[in-house]
């Protein structure tokens, strides 16, 4: 039995802005595009809890936020400031357990199994309150904490009472805790899955937990199995630091050194398709496409091209790689090995990335 803590900062970007502008404290603050008197484009990235009282939410068009509360303070994002605050908070959390995993700019898990006595609610609470106080004191930010026997339940628990919340789910009570909550609270249940489940009469996590495993597999495939386990409060994934994927590389050595262009392109395309599928599965786009050619004498050359906008367009990736390879095909030596590299990976949507990484941990890839 483990004790896992999930920490999520409250109204993060807006809270940092309020910290930097003390005169904004206690007032509705919206971080995002300039609303330009209600006609501005773009969305609200987040809103202070004072602004949420007017119905303003993350991802809402800024023009709508402006209509809901024209007197709110609208401010553009200051990312370097948020990154610095995030780094400082993560350092604090890391200092409380060597088992640490940052999930996004404002949330992390720590495994505190070895730090507190299992089942001692008071001791666990004292530990969590000390962390909250340290973050408040050093960074002037408030957070919400969820504590449970696994990551899945801890994450839902941190969202249970916000802001400045602390929710401890007692060991063995995971299913009971999840049961009345809407299915949407489960990671992996988006708008579409929610609609399908609703049609089946499934509204709460408890409704979902009651559906048999075989039925879930038939209806939703592998994700159905994950959903069945999740709804039942089961999650065995470890708290572990995820290392950033910097590039996707593939290499192919021909059985015999060759000058056969068809064969070389076929090998290269196969590698690009494989790398591309890995790219899209993780919801990445790449900016740099590279190739590598090794001649019969082992001399190796690389060439790469950086495109203006990050892409996941396989046709474009293939054409770029083919063009890069041309000078090596013109060489009189035979080619022994070719390689490809997709680099400068970007993800447009960090939330999506979280979900896909979460699924990877569930071994559902
Ligand atoms: P969240 O933790 O989802 O939101 P939050 O910290 O603002 O509010 P809460 O108290 O509910 O935790 O996201 C963290 C930051 O990520 C948020 O402050 C701004 C950014 N963000 C976006 O830019 N776009 C989005 O759609 C969301 C949800 C968050
Ligand atoms: Mg947050």
| Contact between residue 148 and residue 174 where contact means Cβ atoms under 8 Å apart | yes
pLDDT of amino acid 280: 87
Least trusted range by pLDDT, from 57-66, 293-302, 336-345, 347-356:
347-356
Catalytic annotation present for 107: yes
Q: Which residues neighbour 229 within 8 Å (Cβ) at sequence distance 6 or greater? A: 235, 362
Instruction: Please check whether residue 122 lies inside any domain of the structure.
Output: yes
Asked whether the beta carbons of 153 and 176 are under 8 A apart, the reply is: no
224 and 259 belong to one structural domain: no
| Ligand 1-lining residues (CB < 6 angstroms) | 8-13, 45-46, 58-59, 105-106, 162-163
The one catalytic residue in 50, 101, 107, 174 is 107
Q: Are 16 and 138 within one domain?
A: yes
- Domain final position from 144, 168, 192: 168
Q: Is residue 338 part of a domain?
A: yes
Q: Is 308 helix (H, G, I), strand (E, B) or coil?
A: strand
**Phi, psi at 202, each rounded to 5°:** -100, 110
Percent of the chain with pLDDT over 70: 93
- Final residue before a domain boundary, out of 148, 168, 188: 168
Closest ligand relative to 12 C-alpha: 1
User: In terms of domains, do 303 and 188 share one?
Assistant: no
> Within this chain, do residues 116 and 198 fall inside the same structural domain, yes or no?
no
218 and 310 fall within a common domain: no
Beta-sheet strand order (sheet of 300-311): 247-258, 335-346, 285-295, 300-311
pLDDT tens for each residue of 245-258: 678 889 898 989 99
CA quadruple 251, 257, 258, 262: dihedral, nearest 10: -30
Say yes or no: 94 and 137 in one domain: yes
Give the burial class of 330: count Cβ atoms within 10 A of its Cβ; 0-12 exposed, 13-18 middle, 19 or more buried. exposed
189 lies in the same domain as 254: no
Which CATH number fits the domain that encloses residue 312? 3.30.1490.100
CATH number, domain with residue 216: 1.10.150.20
State which residues form the domain around 252. Answer: 247-359
For the domain that residue 8 is a member of, what is the CATH number? 3.30.70.270
Ligand 1 site-directed mutation target among 15, 16, 46, 191, most atoms within 8 Å of CB: 46
Starting at the earlier edge strand, list the strands of the sheet with 29-32. Answer: 44-47, 29-32, 73-75
Residue 354 reports pLDDT greater than 50: no
Q: What's the number of domains the chain is made of? A: 3
Strands, E assignment, the chain: 4-9, 29-32, 44-47, 73-75, 100-104, 107-111, 143-148, 166-168, 247-258, 285-295, 300-311, 335-346
* Domain-embedded: residue 240: no
Residue that is written with structure tokens 């910290």 in the block: 19
Domain assignment present for residue 113? The answer is yes
DSSP 245: P
pTM of the model: 0.72
Q: Which atom of ligand 1 is nearest to the CA of 10?
A: 10
Ligand 2 center to 159 CA (angstroms): 9
Query: Do 318 and 348 reside in the same domain of the chain?
Result: yes
**pLDDT per residue as tens digits for the range 327-342:** 999 999 999 999 999 9
- Give the residue, out of 61, 106, 143, 350, with the most ligand 1 atoms within 8 A of its beta carbon, to mutate for a pocket test: 106
Q: Same structural domain for residues 269 and 298?
A: yes
Is residue 239 in a domain?
Answer: no
Kindly tell me if the per-residue pLDDT of 244 is higher than 70. no
Q: Rounded to an integer, what distance in angstroms lies between the CA atom of residue 26 and that of residue 47?
A: 12
Ligand 1, residue 162: give the atom nearest the CA. Answer: 10
Per-residue pLDDT of 21-32, as tens digits, reads 999 999 999 999
Same domain for 343 and 251: yes
Q: Which of 168, 188, 220 is the last residue of a domain?
A: 168
Average pLDDT on 118-145 reads 96
**Predicted pLDDT at 62:** 92
105 alpha carbon – ligand 1 mean position (Å): 9
Q: Is residue 259 part of a domain?
A: yes
Q: Are residues 227 and 253 in the same domain?
A: no
Do 181 and 148 belong to one domain? no
CB contact burial 97-136 (16+ within 10 A = b; e otherwise): bebbbbbebbbbbbbbeeebeeeeeeebeebbeebbeebe
pLDDT at 278: 85
- Indicate the SS3 state at residue 337: strand
109's tokens: 């898990």
Q: Looking at the CA of residue 14, tell me the nearest atom of ligand 1.
A: 18
């Amino acid at each position: 039995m483990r004790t896992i803590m999930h920490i999520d900062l409250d109204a993060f970007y807006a809270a940092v802005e309020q910290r930097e502008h003390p005169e904004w404290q206690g007032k509705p603050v919206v971080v995002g595009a300039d609303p330009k008197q209600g006609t501005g484009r773009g969305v609200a990235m987040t809103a202070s809890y004072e602004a949420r009282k007017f119905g303003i939410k993350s991802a809402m068009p800024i023009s709508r936020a402006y209509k809901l509360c024209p007197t709110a303070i609208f401010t553009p994002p200051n990312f370097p400031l948020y990154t610095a605050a995030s780094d400082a908070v993560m350092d604090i959390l890391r200092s409380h357990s060597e088992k640490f995993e940052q999930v996004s700019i404002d949330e992390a898990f720590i495994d505190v199994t070895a730090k507190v006595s299992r089942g001692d609610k008071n001791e666990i609470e004292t530990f969590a309150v000390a962390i909250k106080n340290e973050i408040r004191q050093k960074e002037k930010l408030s957070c919400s904490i969820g504590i449970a026997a696994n990551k899945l339940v801890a994450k839902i628990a941190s969202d249970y009472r916000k802001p400045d919340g602390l929710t401890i789910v007692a060991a063995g009570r995971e299913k009971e805790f999840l049961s009345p909550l809407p299915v949407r609270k489960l990671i992996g249940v988006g708008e579409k899955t929610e609609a399908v489940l609703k049609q089946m009469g499934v509204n709460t996590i408890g409704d979902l937990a009651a559906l048999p495993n075989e039925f879930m597999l038939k209806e939703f495939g592998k994700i159905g199995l994950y959903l069945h386990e999740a709804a039942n409060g089961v999650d065995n994934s470890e708290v572990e630091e995820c290392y950033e994927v910097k590039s996707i590389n593939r290499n192919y050595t021909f059985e015999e050194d060759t000058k056969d262009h068809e064969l070389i392109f076929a090998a290269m395309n196969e590698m690009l398709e494989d790398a591309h599928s890995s790219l899209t599965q993780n919801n990445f786009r790449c900016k740099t496409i590279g190739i590598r050619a090794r001649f019969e004498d082992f001399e190796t050359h690389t060439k790469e091209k950086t495109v203006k906008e990050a892409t996941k367009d396989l046709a474009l990736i293939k054409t770029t790689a083919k063009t890069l390879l041309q000078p090596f095909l013109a060489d009189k030596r035979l080619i022994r090995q070719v390689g490809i590299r997709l680099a400068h990976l970007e993800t447009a949507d960090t939330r999506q990335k979280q979900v896909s990484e979460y699924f990877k941990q569930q071994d559902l890839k």
